[in-house]
């Protein structure tokens, strides 16, 4: 009986120890939950402070404390910023080509647009934190909702809204806005002078077009920035294929021999064709991120395939040639 009593006592002591540990863990979890801020993106600068939006360049951690972001831009983030910069540059070139009749002087406006975009991009990088360095500090992007913190402000007891709107994807959101704003400033400074001095005011239509599409791009970034972040590789691939086909279809002679000759003997056509190939390669790199170079680098050999496919099948697609097939 003494052995049985001893076993029972030991068993009870073990139960009490386990129960005490469980109670301590439960108490710790409850205390942690009580100190967490409501909402996905609310945080505190210090533990004793009230919940709210974290400062720019900070993110709330698991304990709802605002932690300074110390990461660097990943390759995908850099490609996204490059896409947003190329988007405005390509639109500049398109409207310059579309609105300027004197083709000999178009090259001046093209170079001016390129200089404007490069200056805006460099100044944007220099102005980013840390100031004066090209090594940009950034916060990690984890979810699509990180781009739309405005939609996740918590409502306390359905009466009071706690405003925690912040740039969780710092600096991907603000850098694009700054770049477009600087592009607009450089446009007004340089393009107007160049158009007046060297193009005899013939380039003003492209300036008016930019005054429309640059604010539109700012609005698109504000509303659809998160969607563009995840979809831009597919957008590049689709648009580069479609516009390449449109360019080839706009050529006068729609047969294999003339298409090849016109594409490689005309400086304008060759520049447009190579530009489409560069964009297509950019889309492939953005989509794969070259995580497996031995498999993904050979995919760049497919860059000329859309143009080649159009040229080889032009007899099947040209209505004038259907009677001869």
Asked if 81 and 178 touch (Cβ cutoff 8 Å), the reply is no
How many structural domains does the chain have? 1
CA separation for the pair 171, 74 (Å, rounded): 12
In a domain, 224, yes or no: no
CA separation for the pair 289, 122 (Å, rounded): 24
Residue located via tokens 């029972």: 8
In a domain, 149, yes or no: yes
SS3 63: coil
How high is the pLDDT of residue 321?
Answer: 56
Q: What tens-digit pLDDT sequence spans the chain (325 residues)?
A: 455 554 555 555 555 554 444 444 434 433 344 478 888 899 999 888 889 999 999 999 988 899 999 888 999 999 999 999 999 999 999 988 888 766 667 888 889 999 999 999 999 999 988 887 778 899 989 899 999 999 999 988 888 889 899 999 999 999 999 999 999 999 999 888 887 776 655 568 888 999 999 999 999 999 999 999 999 999 999 999 999 998 888 888 888 888 888 888 888 889 889 999 999 999 999 999 888 888 888 889 889 999 999 988 887 775 555 555 4
CA separation for the pair 11, 94 (Å, rounded): 82
SS3 132: coil
CA separation for the pair 135, 4 (Å, rounded): 71
In a domain, 43, yes or no: yes
Q: How would you label 223-232 residue by residue, b for 16+ Cβ within 10 Å and e otherwise?
A: eebbebbeeb
In a domain, 252, yes or no: no
- Beta-carbon contacts of 186 under 8 Å, excluding residues fewer than 6 positions away, are 116, 119, 120
In a domain, 62, yes or no: yes
Q: Which of 324, 323, 273 is nearest to 303 (CA)?
A: 273
In a domain, 202, yes or no: no
How high is the pLDDT of residue 132?
Answer: 79
Domain that holds residue 160: 37-68+144-170
Cβ atoms within 10 Å, residue 78: 14
Q: How would you label 86-109 residue by residue, b for 16+ Cβ within 10 Å and e otherwise?
A: ebbbbbbbebbeebbeeeebbebb
Asked if 197 and 87 touch (Cβ cutoff 8 Å), the reply is no
In a domain, 200, yes or no: no
In a domain, 160, yes or no: yes
How high is the pLDDT of residue 1?
Answer: 46
């Amino acid at each position: 009986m003494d052995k049985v009593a001893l076993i029972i006592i030991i068993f009870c002591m073990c139960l009490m120890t386990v129960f005490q540990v469980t109670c301590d863990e439960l108490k710790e979890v409850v205390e942690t939950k009580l100190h967490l801020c409501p909402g996905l993106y609310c945080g505190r600068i210090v533990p004793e402070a009230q919940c709210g939006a974290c400062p720019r360049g900070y993110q709330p951690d698991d304990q709802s404390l605002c932690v300074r972001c110390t990461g660097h831009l990943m390759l995908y983030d850099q490609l996204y910023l490059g896409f947003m910069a190329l988007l405005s540059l390509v639109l500049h070139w398109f409207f310059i080509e579309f609105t300027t009749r004197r083709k000999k002087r178009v090259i001046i406006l093209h170079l001016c647009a390129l200089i404007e975009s490069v200056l805006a991009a460099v100044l944007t990088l220099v102005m980013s934190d840390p100031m004066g360095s090209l090594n940009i500090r950034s916060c990690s992007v984890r979810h699509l909702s990180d781009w739309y913190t405005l939609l996740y402000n918590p409502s306390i007891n359905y009466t009071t809204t706690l405003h925690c709107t912040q740039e969780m994807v710092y600096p991907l959101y603000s850098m694009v806005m700054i770049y477009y704003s600087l592009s607009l400033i450089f446009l007004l400074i340089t393009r107007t002078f160049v158009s007046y001095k060297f193009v005899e005011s013939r380039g003003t239509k492209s300036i008016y077009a930019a005054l429309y599409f640059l604010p539109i791009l700012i609005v698109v970034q504000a509303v659809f920035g998160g969607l563009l972040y995840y979809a831009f590789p597919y957008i590049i691939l689709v648009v580069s294929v479609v516009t390449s086909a449109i360019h080839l279809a706009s050529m006068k002679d729609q047969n294999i021999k003339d298409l090849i000759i016109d594409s490689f003997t005309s400086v304008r056509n060759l520049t447009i064709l190579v530009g489409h190939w560069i964009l297509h390669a950019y889309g492939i790199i953005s989509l794969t991120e070259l995580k497996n170079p031995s498999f993904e680098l050979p995919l760049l050999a497919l860059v000329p395939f859309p143009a080649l496919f159009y040229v080889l099948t032009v007899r099947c697609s040209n209505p004038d040639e259907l009677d001869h097939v």
